[in-house]
Chains A and B, each alone.
Chain A
Amino acid sequence: MNEEKIQHYGDALYEAWRARRTIPPLVEQAPDITLDDAYRIQQRYVARRVQAGETIVGKKIGATSKPVQDFLGVFQPDFGQLTSGMVYQEGDTLPLDTLIQPKAEAELAFVLKADLQGPGVTAMDVIRATDYVVPCFEIVDSRITDWKIRIQDTVADNASCGVYVLGKTKGDPRKLDITLAGMVLEKNGELYSTGVGAAVQGSPANAVAWLANTLGELGIPFKAGEVILSGSQSALVPVADGDELVCTVGGLGSCRVKFAGRSAV
């Protein structure tokens, strides 16, 4: 795909995000779009948000579970970039009117204390470079109509990033079994689903190592202080006005989030 088309689709996604409306799948608009094209479109879309005043604060890893990879027809995860406008604190009420067609995922977030430079990064390096982990919610959202995504669509759309909320209980991955830590997700006081760290690439640290190596090949920095959302450990939860979600990571703690307002769809 030539640079002009990359910019065109990147701009289209940026405008869709700003106006909170959707566009048809890119794989329909440009059937020969490759995964590399999609990451270049993502770069353009994110660059537009940075030009408009946001900063890059971290990364998210998506498509980390086997069911999602099977659905998208891929054998590896994908990633997107977290920007300053996506950040909410636990205790905030999330305004749904800033989103299009949101769904929540319960995850473990990593905060780095040292740069991770791939290729050649292992899960052991990830633990060594991790300042702390926290339970978190990622609210994924799609600028693609009806979530009708193939892998190229979600990658171009910044891995379907919406907003995210970090919990307040920090854990040391040397004291917590992040692979076997259970994940319990409740919606409005009732059990919604359960999971475990291993649902993410065998261990969340494996997903972070994959990202470090992938970014290393693309020449994208992975810096101390960045937040990394390591991938969903729960079922996707649709959210609406008044909903409250709590996720609890066994041996660590909880993240609680409330929603208000109406999303675009």
Chain B
Amino acid sequence: MSQNLSLSREDIVRLCERVEGAQTRACAIPKLTDEYPAMTIADGYAVQSELRRRYLAQGHRLVGWKAGLTSKAKMKQMGVDVPSIGFLTDRMARPENAAISTGDLVHPRVECEVAFVMKRELRGPGCTAADVLAATDYVLPAVEIIDSRFAGFKFDLPSVIADNGSSARFVGGGRARYVEELDLRTLGVVLEKNGEIVAMGASAAVLGHPAEAIAMLVNILADLGETLPAGSFVMSGGITEAIAVKPGDSVVARFQELGSVSMRFVA
């Protein structure tokens, strides 16, 4: 990690409890740096790691990771300049075509991503996109439902990392494919809400190639003393901008070569 911890162990636990409360009660809180302006990216990951430890202790199962803020559009939209990662648990997973409740979310948004399922463990530092492709079992299309617990979706990098990269729900689906049968750089994506196209792009929007985002994620995991185990489900970051959803909305993400992923939102 490029920056050192500024928070004490007590502060980290306190902030973790605050984030966990906001996540479980679906209430917005001010960004953490309002109270701790010196908070670093390393502090953010310390809070996130504590949050992960608590959820796993409560019986949640770690199923994978996500890269976030991986496109220029997202970084600009959120006013940050470095990507981030977050963890994914079984409690966040929703099946394809599900009715997803928004009652337990603050202000959900959806974005389209290419997801990777790993067949071999990956370990940083020095992990490259080629390493990622060689260790991938298959790729599939996914929709991530992000939900910042910070009021007005306003945050900085340390705060969003502490909030687990705004992770909330995710839906994998569509068509599983081998990576060697695809050009993962040029896959077109269309996001439709209630039958209308609301966002579009191609997969190069994610750091030039989605596998670059996974390599970056593995290298950040190394900084945290973690590896990416075989079997992990990993989302590589939003290709499109994130679109707000509310009860009654129906969402379909259509991917070139990968099929589509659909869901609807209910109260």
Mark out the residues of chain B between 180 and 219 whose CB falls within 8 Å of any chain A CB in the assembled complex: 183, 185-190, 197, 200-205, 208
Inter-chain contact A180/B186, CB cutoff 8 Å: no
Q: A250-B183, A251-B183, A251-B186 are in contact. Are A182 and B204 (CB under 8 A)?
A: yes
- Of the candidates B183, B188, B208, the one whose C-beta lies within 8 Å of that of A191 is B208
Residues of B within 8 Å of A177, CB to CB, are: 188, 256-257
Residues of A within 8 A of B (CB-CB), count: 19
B255: Cβ under 8 A from any A Cβ: yes
Highest count of chain B CB atoms <10 Å: which of A183, A196, A250: A196
Inter-subunit contact A182/B197 (CB<8 Å) = no
Which residues on the B side are within 8 Å of A183 (C-beta)? 186, 188, 202
Contact B256 A181 (CB under 8 A): yes
Within 8 A of B (CB), among A199-246: 199, 202
User: What are the nearest 9 A-B pairs in CB distance?
Assistant: A182-B202, A250-B186, A182-B188, A196-B188, A194-B202, A180-B256, A184-B204, A182-B186, A194-B205
Q: Do residues A195 and B256 form an inter-chain contact, with CB atoms below 8 A?
A: no
Query: Does A248 sit within 8 A of B, measured CB to CB?
Result: yes
Number of interface residues of B (CB under 8 A): 21
Q: Does A12 contact B (CB under 8 A)?
A: no
The reply to whether A184 and B200 form a contact with Cβ atoms under 8 Å apart is: no
Smallest CB separation, B242 vs chain A (Å): 16
Shortest CB–CB separation between residue A135 and chain B, in angstroms? 11
Is the C-beta of A249 less than 8 angstroms from some C-beta in chain B? yes
Cβ-closest chain B residue relative to A252: B186
Task: Give CA–CA (A217, B239) in the complex, Å.
Answer: 40
Bound complex: CA A48 to CA B72 (Å): 45
Q: Which residue of B lies closest to A249 (CB)?
A: B186
Q: How far is the CA of A194 from the CA of B205 in the complex (A)?
A: 6
With A198-B190, A202-B197 already in contact, the answer to whether A180 and B255 are too (CB < 8 A) is: yes
Cβ of A197 under 8 Å from chain B: yes
Nearest CB to that of B184 among chain A residues? A250
Chain A nearest CB: distance from B108 CB in Å?
Answer: 24
A199 cross-chain contacts in B, Cβ below 8 A: 200
* Complex CA–CA separation, A184 to B71 (angstroms): 14
Cβ distance B214 to chain A, nearest Cβ, rounded Å: 17
- In the complex, A192 Cα to B254 Cα: how many Å? 23
Give which listed residue, B200, B239, B256, contacts A250 with CB less than 8 A. Answer: B256
Task: For A191, list chain B residues within 8 Å (CB).
Answer: 72, 204-205, 208
Q: Are the C-beta atoms of B254 and A182 separated by less than 8 Å?
A: no
For B202, list chain A residues within 8 Å (CB): 182-184, 194-196, 250
> Whole-angstrom distance between the alpha carbons of A248 and B208 in the complex?
13
Encode B63-105 as 1/0 by CB contact (under 8 A) with A.
0000000001000000000000000000000000000000000
Instruction: Compute how far the CA of A181 lies from the CA of B256 in the bound complex, rounded to whole angstroms.
Output: 6
Minimum CB distance partner of A234 in chain B:
B202
Q: List the B residue with the shortest CB-CB distance to A202.
A: B197
Complex CA gap A59/B128 in Å reads 45
B188/A180 in contact, CB under 8 A:
yes
12 A-B pairs with C-beta separation under 8 A = A181-B186, A181-B188, A182-B189, A191-B205, A194-B205, A195-B202, A196-B188, A196-B200, A196-B202, A198-B197, A198-B200, A250-B185
When distances are taken between beta carbons in the complex, the residues of chain A under 8 Å from B204 are 182, 184, 191, 194
A181 surroundings in chain B (CB, below 8 A)? 186, 188, 256
Distance in Å: Cβ of B91 to nearest Cβ of chain A:
32
The smallest C-beta distance from A205 to any residue of chain B, in angstroms, reads 15
B186 contact set on A, CB distance < 8 A:
181-184, 248-251
Enumerate chain B residues within 8 angstroms of A194, measured Cβ to Cβ: 201-205, 239
